[in-house]
Amino acid sequence: MDRAIRAFLDVLAVQEGASPQTIRAYTSDLAQFQTFAAAALKPQGPLAPASVEPALIREFLAARDRLGDKKTSLARKLACLRSFFRYLVRVGGLQVNPAEDVRAPKLPKHLPQVLTKDDAGALMEFPAGDAREGLRDRAILETLYSTGARVSELVGMNCEDISRSEGVVHVRGKGRKERVIPLSSLALEAIDAYHAHAPVAPVSSSRRSPDVVAVFRNRRGGRLTTRTIARIVAKYSQQLAGGAVHPHTLRHSFATHLLDEGADLRAIQEMLGHVSLSTTQKYTHLATDQLLALYDRTHPRAVSAAEASEVDKQKGSR
Please say whether the beta carbons of 98 and 54 come within 8 A: yes
Active-site annotation holder among 150, 172, 223, 257 = 150
Q: Which of 47-61, 98-112, 148-162 has the lowest mean pLDDT?
A: 98-112
Q: Which of 171-175, 218-222, 233-237 has the lowest mean pLDDT?
A: 171-175
How many domains does the chain divide into? 2
Q: Is the pLDDT of residue 181 over 80?
A: yes
> Does one domain contain both 246 and 136?
yes
Query: Would residue 251 show up in a list of annotated catalytic residues for this protein?
Result: yes
Query: Would residue 274 show up in a list of annotated catalytic residues for this protein?
Result: yes
> Does one domain contain both 136 and 279?
yes
Query: Would residue 283 show up in a list of annotated catalytic residues for this protein?
Result: yes
In-domain check, residue 170: yes
Q: Is the pLDDT of residue 299 over 90?
A: no
Please say whether the beta carbons of 153 and 171 come within 8 A: yes
> Does one domain contain both 163 and 63?
no
In-domain check, residue 167: yes
Query: Would residue 150 show up in a list of annotated catalytic residues for this protein?
Result: yes
In-domain check, residue 196: yes
Active-site annotation holder among 58, 174, 195, 282 = 174
Please say whether the beta carbons of 164 and 171 come within 8 A: no
Q: Which of 43-47, 193-197, 288-292, 294-298 has the lowest mean pLDDT?
A: 288-292
What pLDDT is recorded for position 293?
65
- Helix 2-10 vs helix 20-41: crossing angle, to nearest 10: 170
Tens digit of each residue's pLDDT (9 = 90 or more) over 89-107: 999 989 999 999 999 888 7
> Does one domain contain both 188 and 72?
no
Closest to 49 (Cα-Cα) out of 60, 38, 58: 38
Gap between the Cα atoms of 103 and 88, Å rounded: 20
In-domain check, residue 104: no
Helix H, strand E, coil C: the string for 103-129 is: CCCCCCCCCCCCCCHHHHHHHHHCCCC
What pLDDT is recorded for position 205?
46
Tens digit of each residue's pLDDT (9 = 90 or more) over 22-39: 899 999 999 999 999 999
Q: Which of 72, 90, 108 is the last residue of a domain?
A: 90
Please say whether the beta carbons of 252 and 260 come within 8 A: no
> Does one domain contain both 81 and 129?
no
Q: Is the pLDDT of residue 317 over 60?
A: no
What pLDDT is recorded for position 287?
62
What CATH number should be reported for the domain holding residue 198? 1.10.443.10
Q: Which of 10-24, 133-147, 160-174, 294-308 has the lowest mean pLDDT?
A: 294-308
Query: What distance lies between CA 91 and its chain's CA centroid?
Result: 30
> Does one domain contain both 70 and 137?
no
> Does one domain contain both 212 and 289?
yes
The pLDDT of 34-57, averaged and rounded, is: 93
If you average pLDDT over each of 201-205, 280-284, 295-299, which comes out highest?
280-284
Tens digit of each residue's pLDDT (9 = 90 or more) over 267-276: 888 899 887 7
In-domain check, residue 302: no
> Does one domain contain both 34 and 69?
yes
In-domain check, residue 105: no
> Does one domain contain both 14 and 73?
yes
> Does one domain contain both 176 and 34?
no
Please say whether the beta carbons of 162 and 169 come within 8 A: yes
The pLDDT of 153-165, averaged and rounded, is: 93
> Does one domain contain both 84 and 148?
no
Paired residues of 178 in beta bridges: 172
What pLDDT is recorded for position 208?
45
Tens digit of each residue's pLDDT (9 = 90 or more) over 73-94: 999 999 999 999 999 999 998 9
Q: Is the pLDDT of residue 8 over 60?
A: yes
What CATH number should be reported for the domain holding residue 76? 1.10.150
Domain holding 40, by residue range, is 2-90
**Higher pLDDT among residues 113 and 202, named by residue:** 113
Active-site annotation holder among 217, 251, 252, 257 = 251
Q: Is the pLDDT of residue 216 over 50?
A: yes
What pLDDT is recorded for position 41?
92
> Does one domain contain both 61 and 134?
no
In-domain check, residue 287: yes
The C-alpha torsion from 68 through 72 and 73 to 75, rounded to 10°, is 120
